[in-house]
A and B are shown apart, each in its own frame.
Chain A
Amino acid sequence: MTVFPLRFRPSPSGDLLFADEAGSYFKSDYDFLTRYALGRLTDRDQDYLFRNGHAFEEVGDLAYSGFEHRFASRLYSPGELDYVILVPTLRCNLACGYCQVSRVNENAPGFDWDDRTLDAVLRFLDGLTTRKIKIEFQGGEPSLRLDVLAKVREFCLTKFESCEFVVCTNLQETPEEVWRFLQLPDVAVSTSLDGDMLTHERQRTLSGGKTQAFLSNLNRALDQLGPDKVSALPTINPHRPPVARSVIETYSSLGMRSIYLRPINFQGFARKKYDAAASAATWNAYHSSFIDDLVEYNWTAEYAVEEYYFVHCLRRVLRSGHNGHVDLRNPNIVGYGYVVIDYDGKVYPTDEARMVTRLGQFDLSMGNVFDGMDRSTVDTLNSEALNNYHPDCVHCPFQPYCGVDLVDDLSRYGRIDMPKHLTDFCQRHTYIFDKIFSMIYSDDPAVRKSMAIWAGVHQFDRALARWHR
């Protein structure tokens, strides 16, 4: 009998978590670790490992093939290009402090698509082979170019069998013609609500009048479009976060059950002001207490609330195939399944790559809509986008659930070969998977209730907390 390679990690409760490359996991003790590492497994150990898919008799047998299937389903393979983020303007009618590199003033000339760019974008879309398309309009404030949004939508409806449009708008000033566009059946709205109204005003609107205008528009969007077509994201300053309960109650009072907490992505001078490692620790502490508050809230709430990214990571632990988040995939192949087209027609593999290029750190563009795509730079990155052989990740039990974000590494450190445990990405994800496993193994009924809801099951089965004693 041969055991598939196991990785291990001590947990705060004093035991050890073991996991294999296909994502199967269990807990055991230090004695088992010693027996496993020194090749002294008992019959009982071998029986447990074989019965639970951690071992096989010979290459190609049922246990081996089953493991290969689970292993393969953990890996991300990009499909055809069917998701395009369009930035028709960088102009914006707000001046949020954390957005200084991705927006310009509302009246600034030269930061919009002209007719030539629009034509080239439509030709680019026309060249896609997919039959379904998702277009996300970002900015700046994309509703300032409603004419472009309408023309892109009109074209897509003639080209693709299935179309989905998302307008990422601040909902600050929304004329009636914009409402008419937002009310179209294939259009959804994504907006920002920075936690609670006090924080939103401090970080975004800066005045009571503007805050009220936003709130009025948000309520109108929820009433007229319905909560299924409106999502809102809070951008959180980890050094001055809103009270968790206040965020939960603000979102739930608006009928929004999913909150995607995102730390401010400090760029340029702001990034230098905050030490990266300290920022990760500060964020992790806030996020952990936020999850605890969610558990407490859900225990008595009529409608449960989730933190989107935590639930995404939880589902990646429990099941394979959860590759819907572009920043958490393995291998994280960029520039194929989706692209970003900037205000000047340049094409980028991700929005973060657009920021990195705009700051002058690296040119991560991959051509433009006028001359065509050039993937040579991103393909160089893609060759390093697998964590299975990374010298740090090979020892980590979280490797099958985790991923790679090389653009984030480039953005923060100017290189992709930092010791993994020193990166913001690794520190945030190590924390989040530690938190998830502490909750999988928890006996607290309040924790188990939230975990069941977040995992999408009726009851959180105790068999998920596997032990080999």
Chain B
Amino acid sequence: MLLNFEIAPELAPYVADAVVRFRYLNPGMDVMISGATAVIAGKEVVDIRGLEQQFMFCLYRQKIYSETLPLRRTLLAGVTGQ
């Protein structure tokens, strides 16, 4: 099984972290990044559309997490009085 799709340029800084998380959630899958293209390869035939969605969710989540981490720290410090 081989899945090939494009990644929007604004997501590029988060691809490396997203790949790590995706492989953590899907241990049998390999992910290769070449420019703006992601290639996911696996031995088993799986739901390809679902797999692309999962990878995009990892990317989105990583971007949201990275961008909002300072705010989350401020919020938690506020409620814990630190």
Residues of chain A touching chain B, judged by Cβ–Cβ distance below 8 Å, are: 2, 4-8, 10, 21, 33-34, 36-39, 59, 67-68, 71-72, 75, 388, 394-395, 419, 421
Contacts and interface: CB of A to CB of B under 8 A. Distances in A.
Given A38-B8, A68-B79, A72-B79, A5 B72 contact: yes
Nearest to A71: B79
Interface string B51-66: 0010001011101110
Given A4-B75, A37-B64, A67-B75, 15 more contacts: A5-B72, A6-B64, A7-B61, A7-B64, A8-B57, A8-B60, A10-B53, A21-B72, A37-B63, A39-B10, A68-B78, A68-B79, A71-B75, A75-B80, A419-B24
Contacts of B63: 37
Interface of B: 8, 10-11, 24-25, 53, 57, 59-61, 63-65, 68, 71-72, 74-76, 78-80
Contact of A37 (B24, B25, B60, B75): B60
Interface of A is mostly: mixed
Contact of A59 (B64, B74, B79): B74
B65 A395 contact: yes
B75 A395 contact: no
A306 B57 CA distance: 36
B79 A394 contact: no
B75 A33 contact: no
Contacts of A2: 71
A376 to B, nearest CB: 22
B76 A388 contact: yes
Contacts of B80: 75
| Most chain A CB neighbours (cut-off 10 Å) among B60, B61, B75 | B75
B68 A5 contact: yes
